[in-house]
Amino acid sequence: MKKLEKMTKDELEQLGNKDIAALLLKEQGAMNTGDLFKKVIDLLELPKTTFDNKIGDFYTSLATDKRFVLLEDGSWDLRSHHTSDKVVKVVEEEEEEESKEETSTEVEDSFDDGDETEEDYDDAEEDLKDLVVIDEDELDLEQ
């Protein structure tokens, strides 16, 4: 892909703000929302009032696009430039939880005294079918 500075205005307009932002971040590295949007506006030769009118929309579009990541210092960068220890840690924790649950199930199964039957579960469901939810207004009327 061409470098941004070698692209024509027509080529840039076809890309859109998020794609231009992604190329800027790829070429220049992380930057804050304001600086990034100002560069997009300058490249597209948009009026300066666009900054004030559209900065919120630009921020939202970056926040909802999975290509971008907001760093702790408030600057944006491409997600592909960063590894996430948190993602790895969450996966490891989930695997540990699953392992604990499997062990817990095995232990519970070994203590199963066999007294509960499928019929007992059916009786419990039948007991609950007559329950009715009453909101507070109905409760006040009954009293």
Evaluate whether residue 59 is within a structural domain: yes
What does the radius of gyration of the chain's CA atoms come to, in whole angstroms? 29
The span from the CA of 74 to the CA of 36, in Å, is 12
Evaluate whether residue 135 is within a structural domain: no
How sure is the predictor about 7, in pLDDT bands with cuts at 50, 70 and 90?
Answer: confident
Evaluate whether residue 9 is within a structural domain: yes
- Mean pLDDT calculated for residue range 115-129: 60
Q: Which residues contact 47 (CB under 8 A, 6 or more apart)?
A: none
Evaluate whether residue 105 is within a structural domain: no
- Which 8-state DSSP code applies to residue 6? G
CATH at residue 59: 1.10.10.1250
Which residues form the domain of 60? 4-81
Evaluate whether residue 94 is within a structural domain: no
- Mean pLDDT calculated for residue range 7-30: 89
Q: What is the overall mean pLDDT for the chain?
A: 75
Range ranked top by mean pLDDT from 34-43, 112-121, 122-131: 34-43
State how beta strands 31-32 and 68-70 pair: unpaired
- Mean pLDDT calculated for residue range 32-58: 92
Count of domains observed in the chain? 1
- Mean pLDDT calculated for residue range 72-96: 69
The span from the CA of 84 to the CA of 115, in Å, is 49
Evaluate whether residue 106 is within a structural domain: no
What pLDDT, on the 0 to 100 scale, is given for residue 89? 47
- Mean pLDDT calculated for residue range 96-119: 54
Higher per-residue confidence, 98 vs 27? 27
Q: Which two tokens stand for residue 15?
A: 């890309």
Q: Is the pLDDT of residue 140 over 90?
A: no
Evaluate whether residue 55 is within a structural domain: yes
Higher per-residue confidence, 133 vs 69? 69
What pLDDT, on the 0 to 100 scale, is given for residue 82? 81
- Mean pLDDT calculated for residue range 135-140: 64
- Which 8-state DSSP code applies to residue 19? H
What pLDDT, on the 0 to 100 scale, is given for residue 88? 46
Task: Please give the order of strands across the beta sheet that includes 68-70.
Answer: 31-32, 75-78, 68-70
Evaluate whether residue 70 is within a structural domain: yes
